[in-house]
Structure 1
Amino acid sequence: MISNDPAPTDRQFLFVLGSARSDGNTEQLARLAAEGLPASVGQRWLRLTDFPLDPFDDIRHTGDGTYPELTGNGRELFEATVGATDLVIVSPLYWYTVSTSVKLYLDHWSGWFRAPGTDFRARMKGRTLWGVTSHSGNNSDADPLIGTLRLTGDYMGMHWGGVLLGTGGRPGDVHRDELALAEAKNFFADVI
């Protein structure tokens, strides 16, 4: 079995960066929120564009439905994911939902359920799923993204940490959203 699980009392945050742009509004907001985490909490930041995944091939109903052993970027993302107590999806709002790279990452979870020795769903149960997003419209425009993440967490048996929302279209615009900046400072306030 692949094992990279954190110790039960250690908090390890994995920030999964799903933007096509480095250091965009969503990432800036997430980094501001992460500054509020206690020093004892581990942080790892992974940019999905640095770990490209092949298109997801759903083979559940072909052959015996068993997925191949995880290798390459898929294995590295899997190990980072199960190595975290807290998973933070950092995705700008693209067409009212998560970015393409985040959607592909989540699609690969279906394969991780069935890959040999992963026990993925059981290992994610009880962990916490969070989201950070920015948009250029109204907060209600992010409802489908929030629903995607919340329902994913529910399906996995994860706790729901919530979503931090910021407004900003052009790079740096999020710093004009005073409400989002204030919420970012306290977003992880309940983390011990």
Structure 2
Amino acid sequence: MARDFLFLLGSTRSGGNTETLARQAAEQLPAGDTARWLSLAELELPEFRDLRHTENRAQAAPTGNAATLLEATLAATDLVIASPLYWYSVSTPVKHYLDHWVNWLYTPGLDFKQRMAGRTLWGVTALAGEDHSQADPLVGTLRNSAAYMGMDWGGVLLGSAVRPGEIADDTQAAARAKTFFSSVPESAARA
């Protein structure tokens, strides 16, 4: 069965190490699978306001870039968060995108959580150094988000690089990229 991948680029720099690693993995997608790429930094979202515990907690349907992201999110079978490791977690554009999931949960008639259930969430990140445990908070953010939404968890492809282009030196990450999307996702609740 063909899958529709949405790659959400979370870097504020185009063509960085994380994006390069994600593109290496995407090159291995089987024929028939599709890949759509969106830069979260280029799609400015409105400021997030948490209205869950107010009288007016129902959210209006998103418009503009938020609507574009929502539509792309719901059209995908597989979401790939490609975020460099910033202060041990996801980048600001990724966090802002995930914050908007809260509003989508409270948008009348959208049924966002029910519609996300069963899709697969993946992550790709590049970090400085060889100690991949430093990415544990990023991995936890994505895995826990998938579990909350009833999504499957595909895992995170990790690479080591600092300066632009250094990901090319991480031959182990390149080898993992060749089979990353062929791994069988697990239920995030069990991960």
Q: Distance in 1 between matches of 2:150 and 2:165?
A: 35
Aligned equivalent of 2:116, options 124, 136, 139:
124
Structure 1 counterpart SS, 2:118: coil
Residues 40-189 of structure 1: matches in 2 within 5 Å? 40-137=32-129, 138-189=131-182
Cα deviation code 1:123-161 (max 9, x no counterpart): 000000000000003201100000000000000000000
| 5+ long unaligned stretches in structure 2 | 185-191
User: What is the aligned-residue RMSD (CA, Å)?
Assistant: 1.1
Structure 1 counterpart SS, 2:53: coil
TM-score by length of 1: 0.93
Aligned equivalent of 1:18, options 10, 21, 25:
10
Q: Distance in 2 between matches of 1:10 and 1:186?
A: 17
Q: Which amino acid aligns with 2:91?
A: S
Q: Distance in 2 between matches of 1:113 and 1:10?
A: 27
Measured after TM superposition, the shift of residue 94 of structure 1 is 0.2
Kindly indicate whether the alpha-carbon contact (under 8 Å) linking 2:154 and 2:183 is maintained by their aligned counterparts in 1.
Answer: no
What's the % identity of the aligned pairs?
59
Question: Counterpart in 1 of 2:189?
Answer: none
TM-score by length of 2: 0.93
Cα deviation code 1:19-73 (max 9, x no counterpart): 0110000000000000010120011000012211122101112224101121111
Cα deviation code 1:150-184 (max 9, x no counterpart): 00000000000000000001001011111101001
